[in-house]
Every structure is written in structure tokens, then in C-alpha cells.
Amino acid sequence: MPYYRSVGEVPRKRHTQFRQPDGTLYTEELMGQEGFSADSSLLYHRHAPTAIVAAEAYDPPAVTRVPNLPLKPRHLRTHQLDHTGADPILGRRYLLANDDVRIAYVSADRPSPLFRDATGDHCLYLESGSLRVESPFGALDAVAGDYVIIPTSTIHRLVPTGDEPARLLAIEAAGHVGPPKRYLSVRGQFLEHSPYCERDVRGPDGPLLVGGSDVEVLVRHRRGWTRYVYAHHPFDVVGWDGHLYPWAFSIHDFEPITGRIHQPPPVHQTFQGPNFVICSFVPRKVDYHPDAIPVPYNHHNVDSDEMLFYTGGNYEARRGSGIGQGSISLHPSGFTHGPQPGAAERSIGVDFFDELAVMVDTFRPLDLCDAADECEDPAYAWTWARPAAPPAG
Ligand SMILES: [Fe+2]
């Protein structure tokens, strides 16, 4: 994250004596990426962040994966997976996955346990409801439309805070997620042509200073899951500074790039991850050439599987497909996709699209997970030949 923050109390010089009111030293934790060669933060704990009193193997949530075979475009109705009693981490229902990224959905109404994913960053997109992200860095409040990036190995707890459940799309990377490199200067500042910048980014703004002992933390690591019990609560940090921390960015702050004729999906790119990108389709003025066709042309992005989560407005190109709020479409490599029948003609002369969608394009094929099977609309693959009735409501 290219944005230095300093929160709470930190000493003037790093790695020097910094004492608590009782005279004992605060204990430092440097959390950094790529072996001291990339972004890091330096945290000051009241108690040693190394002190564990128990460790046992933990059965991870089952994630089954089957290939997209026969190869078909897919339509998943995520809201069919809603049920009460789910937490935002262990309640995730996995839909699509490859070795670079796992994509899950959950409608959560209770707090998660403390969790650390040591295998990669998480990018959460909040479709509805509200959520508090607690970590040693402090609390970060998210509302509908927010992306939240949680760096690898950040111990965190997700707490739904509103009257309605928090509906989340969770994009779990096997690596780091951040702004597209082409939008950053060599020193990490957002450039003028970036669709968002530092002012749009939010981070934790005060320490949580939670007390307590014998605290359970579930850890997903490269060889499985382990349940730790820490001697002291890991959110005992009095201050920290650096470039690495959970941060939020609202899709409503993404400034769309538009043109006289149709702009390709890279203009919508919001984040990059290992072998995948995340894009935001937001309400925008559309193509203004007098002869423009605002919906996309048929296309085959031969190196990518394309997943689109429809999270607001009306997605003009998909009218007649059965797709509605909370739908996910998967258009895999090997299949040419495009607008539904009639959409091109209908879009001519339209000057504004009221649509909100999150896209994940992966460079390796996405397998289907068990929850995809539970909520798939089997008619979708044929809707370019046999349009479906509009969704109810
Ligand atoms: Fe596409």
C-alpha cells in the first residue's frame, strides 16, 4: 500500500527503547512483505506477539473443486446461499477457485473468530450491510460498496455491525493485492490518470488496545490450518507506523474512465493480484461518438476466465439472461461471450449506464466449488440462443 500512516503512540526513532507506564519495554513487531524488501509496518505491543500457549491442527472448511467441464458460461445466484447464523470468515461459501485465488460469498450476521491467513491477502467487497474489521492496527469500518484489503497474516476479526446481514464477496489471493502498478509512481504515489488516489483510501485511525489472555486465533497457513492460543490478546498494540495495514476503498469513489467509443475492461481495473485483476464497473456516462454502440462487443479474452459479480443498478448488456442483484457470471477462456440478444440495438443513444459490478479476471482457469453447484442457474448457457424471462422484482 503506497501510503504512509502513523497511528497511536510510536517513539521518534525506530528500534529504540520505548517504555510503558510501568517502565517495561513495549515489544516491537515488524510485519513486512517480500523479505524486508517491500512494504512493512512496525507495531508496538504491550505483550510479546510471539507468546503462544497452545497449538493444535484444525480441520479447515472443506473447499471442493471440480473443473468447468463441459466448458460453459455459468450463472450463480449467490443470494440463494443466504442463511442465518453465518460468520464472515468460517461461513464463507466457496464458489470459484484456482491456485491463485479463491472466491467466496457469505451473508453474515455474527462475528468471526480471530483469524490469520498466512497464505495471501484478502480483498473483501461488501455488497450490503456494514462490517467492522478489527486487527492489531485498529478498527476499520466498512459499508456497502467498500472494498477492504487485508494484508497477508494480519490477525483480524470481522464483525457485522448493522441491522441487516453483511453480504460479502471474499477474494482470497495466494499473494498480494494492491493498486495497479501503472497507476503508481516509482515511489508509490497514485498518478494523475489513476481512477482513485490517496484521499479515497481509509485505514485504521486509532489503536484498539484490547486486553485479555488465552486468546484463540485460527491460522490458515501453507500446509493446513492451526488453532493457536495466544497468551495475550494480539490487539494490544499501542501504536504503529508504515505502509502495510488493512485499508478500505469505496467503489463509489472509483472515477470511471470513459471515451467516445467503447473502452476495454482495463480502464475499470482497480486492483492487481497474483495472476488476476479486479475491476469495478460503476455508474457512468457512456460512449459519446454519434454512432457509438455503448454495450460491449462480443469478445474472447483468450488468456482469462472472467467472473462478474452484479452488485447494483441494471447491467444493460445482460438483460434477458436472468441475471440480477447478487448474480455472478463466469465467462471462461475457450468461450466467446458478449451482450445478450438485442442489447446492442437497445443501447444506441443511451448516454448513461447505472450499473455496479465487480469483476475478477484470472489468468488460470477457475474451478467450480461446491456452493457454485448449489446456486447455479442451469439455463444461463443457452440464453444467447434462448433469452430468459426478466428476473422478478
Ligand atoms: Fe467480458
29-33, 121-125, 388-392: which range is least confident on average? 388-392
Rounded distance between C-alpha atoms, residue 192 and residue 184, angstroms: 9
Name every residue whose Cβ is closer than 8 Å to that of residue 178 and which is 6 or more positions away in sequence: 1, 2, 149, 271, 272
Q: Over 60: is that where the pLDDT of 390 sits?
A: no
Task: Band the pLDDT of 1: cuts 50, 70, 90.
Answer: low
**pLDDT score, position 77:** 97
**DSSP bridge pairs for 54:** 229
In whole angstroms, give the CA distance from residue 173 to residue 371: 19
Cα 338 to middle of ligand 1, angstroms: 7
Q: 384 has which bridge partners?
A: none
Instruction: Say which residue the cell 440478444 belongs to.
Output: 341
pLDDT of residue 389: 61
What confidence category does residue 182 fall into, taking pLDDT thresholds of 50, 70 and 90? very high
Q: What is the pLDDT of residue 22?
A: 97
pLDDT at 388 over 70: no
Total residue count of the chain as it appears in this document: 393
Element (DSSP H or E) covering residue 347: helix 343-347
Name the amino acid, one letter, at 170: A
Rounded distance, CA 198 to CA 190, Å? Answer: 7
- Measured in Å, residue 176 CA sits from the centre of ligand 1 at 24
Confidence class for position 19, pLDDT limits 50, 70, 90: very high
Reference 138, options 236, 207, 47; nearest CA is: 207
> How confident is the model over 187-198, as a mean pLDDT?
96
How far, in Å, from the CA of 149 to the mean position of ligand 1?
24
pLDDT band for 2, please (50, 70, 90 cuts). low
Rounded to an integer, the average pLDDT of 77-89 is 97
pLDDT tens figures, 330-369 = 999 999 999 988 889 999 999 999 999 999 999 999 999 9
| Bridge partners, residue 309, by sequence | 328, 358
- Give the Å distance between the CA of 192 and the centre of ligand 1: 27
Indicate the residue type of 141.
Answer: D
All 3 cell numbers of residue 329?
457470471
pLDDT in tens, 206-220: 999 999 999 999 999
- 191 CA distance to ligand 1 middle (Å): 27
Q: What is the pLDDT of residue 321?
A: 83
Amino acid at 317: A
Distance from Cα 266 to the centre of ligand 1, integer Å: 11
Q: Is the pLDDT of residue 386 over 80?
A: no
Give this prediction's pTM. Answer: 0.96
pLDDT, mean of residues 32-60: 96
Least confident among 54-63, 309-318, 334-343 = 309-318
Tell how far the Cα of 334 is from the centroid of ligand 1, in angstroms.
12
Name the band, by pLDDT with cuts 50, 70 and 90, for residue 285: very high
Name the grid cell of 88: 464472515
Give distance in angstroms: CA of 44 to centre of ligand 1: 46
- Higher pLDDT among residues 205 and 245, named by residue: 245
CA of 262 to the centre of ligand 1 (A): 13
